[in-house]
Every structure is written in structure tokens, then in C-alpha cells.
Chains A and B, each alone.
Chain A
Amino acid sequence: MDEDSQTIQAVLAGDTGRFRALVEKYQGPLFGMARHLIGDAGEAEDVAQEAFLAAYANLKSYDPARAKFSTWLFSMARNRCLNILKRKRPLVMAAVPEEAVADTPGKRLDTETAFDRLDSALDELPLEQKTAFVLAEIEGLSYGEIVVIEGVKLGTVKSRIARAKEKLRDSLRNVVEQS
């Protein structure tokens, strides 16, 4: 039995305080995922907290044979993020917009500008690509975990991540070449 399963058994046996170990273990990546998907830190915190509370409330129904606890937890948080994003903007976005060259000719590209450009490009990605990319490239989840979280095939996950990376690199390449 892994560490998370042991903690869950203890919580189910009545030791509620042990749930804190799970919170402290996954708060970083969970909040990070919500923050990158939603953008707003306050809403991201709400999503992360709601996901932990939902996990606690449904701990009895959690089946370790179906998925790891982290995968189950991320699924709940991801669904909440998508609900928020769907309320805010259309599901399918256009291609990453080309920005006009506003920099002084010959000016060297600085890190902050490059990072801002990548942040914008990430925000402009279609939701499916964005979530897959954030889970894999920023939160470091395995493709197997992402397959469970997203509920799609492995090939679809790989395709979404590859397209997202290509768009981000193209966006950055445009800025680099223009600098």
C-alpha cells in the first residue's frame, strides 16, 4: 500500500487530521495547475480548496484500483477550472495572434518580454491544448495520468501537447526573429 493509500485509510478510520498530509503534498501542483489554467490567483485558490474538500467528502468512494489519488484530485480540480473558463470565454480559440512589431529595431529581446509573450501565447491556446500542456510541461504529470484526467486516448494527449508546444515556440520564435 502506498503512502497516500495509508493516509486515506487513516482518515477513513477517523483520523481527520491526517488529511493535512495529502493537502500539503499536493497543494503546490494543484494550485499551480489551477493558477495557470484560470489566471486569477484568488479563483485558483478557491478551485484548489474545493477540490480538496470534494476529495475529503468523497473519500469513501475513492477506488485506488482505478486511479492514483493525485490523478483523482487533479481530475476534480481540472473540471472545476474548465467550468470557470467556459463561463469566461469561448471553448475554441483562434490561432495565436501575431503581434505588431513595436520594439525598436535592433533592440535585444529581454527575458521578461519573452516570458510575457509565452504567457500570452499559453493563455491563447485552445482549452484542451492548454490543460494538457500545463499538466505535462509545467506540473510534470505523466502521460498516463493525463489520459485519466482528461478522459481521452494517449495519442490525443500527445497530439495536444505537441501542438501546444509548437504554437508556443512559434510565438517565441517570431519575437526572437524580430528582435
Chain B
Amino acid sequence: MMPVDDIYERWREARADVEVPNGFADRVMVAVETSEEDARDAATRGVLALLLASRLARVAVYSIAGGACLVRIGCVVSTFIAF
């Protein structure tokens, strides 16, 4: 008959030897990389949202866009005007 202490120790050692599921570390690192990308996307969206939340910022953005548009139109028209 096996002594209790012997069985207990063998059981304890057996239970300490747990096999980690295959690819566990890979799955964790994929999740880590995904969380990094999500954080970068969120930061970009945050900056844009911050900019566009300000009326002054929106006016500035629209003015720059309008000015760029006028410059571009001027460049196109100038090609047809003879000097």
C-alpha cells in the first residue's frame, strides 16, 4: 500500500507539470501587436478630432484647402494664357 505522503508528492509534481497550449506565446504577441496598432490609430484619430473640434482650426484648414485650390486653378489657367 502506497504511503499517503508518497502519493501526495507524486500528485503534486504531476500537477506542477502543466503543458502550455501550442502557439500560446504567438497568440499573445499577435494580440500585443494588434493593441499597438489600435493605439496608434486611436492617437491619430484623437489628433484629428482635436483639431477639427476647434472652430479656428476648421477655418484654418478650410482656408488652406481653398487657397491651395485657387493656386491650382491659377496654374491650370496660366497654361492657356499667352504672355
**A93: CB under 8 A from chain B?**
no
A125-140 with Cβ < 8 A to chain B: 137-140
By secondary structure, the A interface counts as helix
Contact partner of A28 (CB less than 8 A), chosen from B1, B4, B18, B36, is: B18
In chain B, residues 23-46, which have Cβ atoms closer than 8 Å to a Cβ of chain A?
24-25, 27-29, 31-33, 35-36
Interface segment among B7-15, B48-56, B57-65, B71-79: the answer is B7-15
Q: Which A residue sits closest to B21, measured CB to CB?
A: A45
> Cβ of A31: which chain B residues have Cβ within 8 Å of it?
18, 20-21, 24
CB distance from A169 to the nearest CB of B (A): 6
Q: Contact: A176 with B2, CB < 8 Å?
A: yes
For chain A, which range describes its interface: under 10, 10 to 19, 20 to 34, or 35 or more residues?
35 or more
Query: A111 near B: Cβ within 8 Å?
Result: yes
Q: How far is the CB of A129 from chain B (nearest CB, A)?
A: 15
Closest 10 pairs between A and B when the two form their complex, measured CB to CB? A32-B18, A23-B25, A114-B7, A118-B11, A52-B28, A23-B28, A138-B16, A31-B20, A27-B20, A115-B11
Residue ranges of A at the interface with B (Cβ–Cβ < 8 Å): 16-17, 19-20, 23-24, 27-28, 31-32, 35-36, 41, 45, 48-49, 52-53, 56-57, 108-109, 111, 114-115, 118-119, 137-140, 168-169, 172-173, 176, 179
